């Protein structure tokens, strides 16, 4: 089903590129080719597919035909993973210079960092794709279609608005005060204004609350597309971090959004490892709320989950075998810093997924592959334990589960602990103990009310969600990312860890963009 869906959605992406991509430093715009693309409901679906696929591919081919040529031209999720994980306690990189992640790793980047720039341009390229779609999906333009087709395209339109809200959410979280542009703005010669974090927050909130009724519910939503559950989950994330973004708590609103997501009918997957293997597309029937399909034939790149799976397998160890993870060879650049394995009570927690043979837990050197455990959480193996694809040629078949129910449980618990109303400690403690039961296979680690603290939640989020792209945002929300409240090895570039300037809680808008748009500026860079 995954392969069929993406085959159908890719057929007219090259036409879309002709209509919306200009020069690198311009915001994409449409021209007369749009009139030949938006001629059928099937073509609208194909363009929507391009919007989804733009998170996991670099263009039309694995090597070449890239959508963007900015800096390294990396795909969206490879950039996102690095910006969210590389500077935290969850990742230690061997390829400091080879992958240009020294600045990210040591929390000392600047406005010329290639990963920061690539992430920024990927976000705004994707926003431009959504804007182009929405210019051609007005009620007036849909009037030429049948009632059934109009209903279908309105669902696509809501999903395009959801995706744009997701991209703006990432821009808000990473960059805060950012340029703002929609389908209603001119496509040529227009310099987007700078919106404050408060303005962007309000826009995302209004978009998500406005579209949810036009999105499909869990039962009716095809695989790989965003449902109402995805909209509620993104809204919960926005509200959970509102104190950081706009200096106003929104924990009660977060609880409501979490409850609405849970009401969609999700359930925990019994086997934690199956959430991150090559058959994890089957988990959208229960735990995975929104996934980014990755396929070794149809959505191929050296980024996204291929980057994570191959990057976590050694290329120097005699003990770790690549075939045990469904890959032809390891890339050997990712390990975990020692503080994260130390959060686990022992290997009886099924989430403790680390390769430790011949490895030291802590790091005398951050770029030595023998220092730090390898993470075995992500694999290219099927449920039957077989290799799913040839990673030397086509990458992995492991989808990227962007939203899942466990995170919703943890968000709701945190919102209650932080004083939100609309639920109670007994309810969220039940959710926490569901996670404990899944982790240990029994009730041996059942938590009591007194253990439900903010400290526990931060640690539990690491145990449950490590290497899923949440850690930087979590540490910032708990006041621990740049401060000395929590130090980990090589934080700030020193072995014992040091606090860094608070400006590193956000990334700078790239220098190239500041030059192109005088409306923009960075406060602290």
What is the DSSP secondary-structure string of 193-220? PEEPHHHHHHHHHHHHHHHGGGS--TTT
CB–CB of 454/418 below 8 Å?
Answer: yes
In this prediction, residue 499 carries a pLDDT of: 98
Going by pLDDT thresholds of 50, 70 and 90, the confidence category of residue 64 is: low
Burial class (CB in 10 A: 0-12, 13-18, 19+), 216: middle
How far is the CA of 94 from the CAs of 81, 314, 361, 371, in angstroms? Answer: 16, 10, 15, 10
Which residue is associated with the tokens 């000392």? 108
**% of the chain at pLDDT higher than 70:** 92
For residue 21, pLDDT beyond 60: no
Going by pLDDT thresholds of 50, 70 and 90, the confidence category of residue 71 is: low
In this prediction, residue 19 carries a pLDDT of: 32
Enter the tokens of residue 378: 């992500």
User: How many residues are there in the chain?
Assistant: 525
CB crowding 244-280: b at 16 or more within 10 Å, else e: bbbeebbbbbbbbbbbbbbebebebbeebbbbbbbbb
Enter the tokens of residue 143: 């009037």
d(CA 202, CA 48): 25
In this prediction, residue 502 carries a pLDDT of: 98
Region of residue 332 (phi > 0: left; psi between -120 and 50: alpha; otherwise: beta): left
Q: What integer best gives the mean pLDDT of the chain?
A: 92
In this predicted model, what pLDDT tens digit does every residue of 437-489 receive, in sequence order?
A: 999 999 999 999 999 999 999 999 999 999 999 999 999 999 999 999 999 99
**% of the chain at pLDDT higher than 90:** 86
For residue 114, pLDDT beyond 50: yes
CB–CB of 342/302 below 8 Å?
Answer: no
d(CA 152, CA 147): 9
Half-sphere exposure of 442 (CA within 13 A, CB side): 2
Half-sphere exposure of 149 (CA within 13 A, CB side): 16
Q: What mean pLDDT comes out for the span 114-142?
A: 97
CB–CB of 334/311 below 8 Å?
Answer: yes
Q: Which helix (H) or strand (E) holds 179?
A: strand 178-179
Q: What mean pLDDT comes out for the span 152-178?
A: 98
In 3D, which of 433, 491, 451 has the Cα closest to residue 92?
Answer: 491
Distance between alpha carbon 37 and the CA centroid of its chain, in Å?
A: 29
d(CA 112, CA 118): 10
Helix and strand element counts for the chain (H, E) = 19, 8
How far is the CA of 503 from the CAs of 39, 260, 524, 525, in angstroms? Answer: 48, 35, 6, 8
d(CA 7, CA 24): 28
Enter the tokens of residue 461: 């989020």
In 3D, which of 79, 40, 108 has the Cα closest to residue 174?
Answer: 79
Three-class DSSP category at 24: coil
Contacts of 227 (CB under 8 A, 6+ apart): 215, 216, 217, 218, 220, 221, 264, 289, 290
Of residues 62 and 277, the one with the higher pLDDT is 277
For residue 352, pLDDT beyond 70: yes
In this predicted model, what pLDDT tens digit does every residue of 181-234 receive, in sequence order?
A: 999 999 899 999 999 999 999 999 999 999 999 999 999 999 999 999 999 999
Contacts of 480 (CB under 8 A, 6+ apart): 458, 486
For residue 51, pLDDT beyond 80: yes
Lowest mean pLDDT among 7-11, 273-277, 463-467: 7-11
In this prediction, residue 34 carries a pLDDT of: 78
Strand partners of residue 121: none
In this prediction, residue 62 carries a pLDDT of: 57
Enter the tokens of residue 474: 């979590």
In this predicted model, what pLDDT tens digit does every residue of 486-517 receive, in sequence order?
A: 999 999 999 999 999 999 999 999 999 999 99
In this prediction, residue 68 carries a pLDDT of: 84
Which residue is associated with the tokens 């694809």? 389
């Amino acid at each position: 089903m995954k392969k069929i869906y993406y085959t159908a959605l890719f057929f007219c992406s090259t036409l879309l590129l002709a209509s919306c991509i200009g020069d690198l430093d311009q915001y994409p715009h449409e021209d007369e080719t749009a009139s030949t693309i938006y001629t059928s409901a099937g073509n609208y679906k194909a363009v929507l597919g391009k919007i989804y696929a733009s998170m996991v591919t670099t263009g039309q081919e694995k090597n070449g035909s890239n959508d963007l040529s900015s800096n390294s031209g990396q795909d969206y999720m490879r950039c996102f993973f690095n910006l969210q994980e590389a500077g935290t306690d969850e990742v230690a990189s061997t390829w400091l210079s080879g992958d240009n992640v020294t600045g990210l790793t040591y929390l000392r980047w600047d406005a010329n960092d290639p990963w920061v720039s690539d992430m920024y341009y990927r976000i705004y390229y994707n926003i431009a794709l959504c804007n182009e779609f929405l210019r051609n999906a007005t009620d007036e333009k849909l009037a030429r279609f049948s009632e059934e087709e109009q209903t279908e395209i309105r669902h696509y339109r809501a999903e395009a608005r959801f995706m744009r809200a997701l991209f703006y959410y990432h821009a808000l979280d990473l960059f805060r005060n950012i340029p703002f542009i929609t389908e209603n703005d001119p496509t040529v010669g227009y310099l987007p204004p700078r919106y404050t974090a408060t303005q962007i927050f309000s826009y995302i909130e209004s978009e998500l609350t406005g579209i949810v009724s036009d999105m499909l519910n869990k039962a009716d939503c095809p695989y790989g597309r965003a449902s109402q559950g995805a909209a509620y989950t993104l809204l919960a994330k926005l509200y959970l971090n509102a104190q950081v973004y706009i200096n106003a708590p929104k924990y009660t609103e977060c609880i409501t959004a979490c409850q609405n997501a849970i009401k969609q009918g999700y359930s925990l997957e019994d086997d934690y490892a199956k959430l991150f293997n090559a058959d994890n597309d089957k988990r959208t029937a229960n735990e995975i709320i929104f996934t980014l399909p990755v396929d070794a034939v149809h959505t191929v790149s050296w980024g996204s989950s291929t980057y994570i799976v191959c990057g976590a397998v050694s290329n120097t160890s005699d003990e770790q075998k690549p075939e045990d993870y469904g890959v032809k060879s390891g890339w050997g650049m990712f390990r975990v810093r020692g503080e994260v394995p130390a959060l686990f009570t022992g290997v009886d927690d099924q989430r403790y997924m680390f390769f430790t043979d011949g490895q030291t837990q802590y790091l005398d050197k951050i770029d030595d592959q023998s220092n730090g455990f390898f993470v075995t959480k992500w694999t290219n193996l099927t449920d039957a334990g077989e290799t799913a694809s040839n990673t030397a040629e086509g990458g992995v078949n492991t989808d990227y589960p962007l939203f899942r129910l466990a995170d919703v449980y943890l968000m709701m618990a945190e919102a209650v602990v932080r004083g939100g109303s609309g639920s109670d400690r007994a309810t969220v403690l039940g959710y926490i103990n569901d996670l404990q039961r899944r982790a240990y296979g029994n009730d041996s680690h059942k938590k009591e009310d007194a253990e439900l603290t903010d400290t526990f939640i931060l640690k539990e989020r690491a145990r449950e969600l490590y290497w899923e792209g949440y850690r930087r945002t979590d540490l910032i929300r708990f006041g621990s990312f740049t401060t000395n409240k929590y130090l980990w090895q090589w934080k700030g570039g020193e072995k014992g860890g040091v606090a860094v300037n608070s400006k590193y809680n956000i990334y700078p808008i790239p220098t190239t963009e500041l030059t192109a748009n005088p409306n923009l500026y960075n406060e602290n860079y």
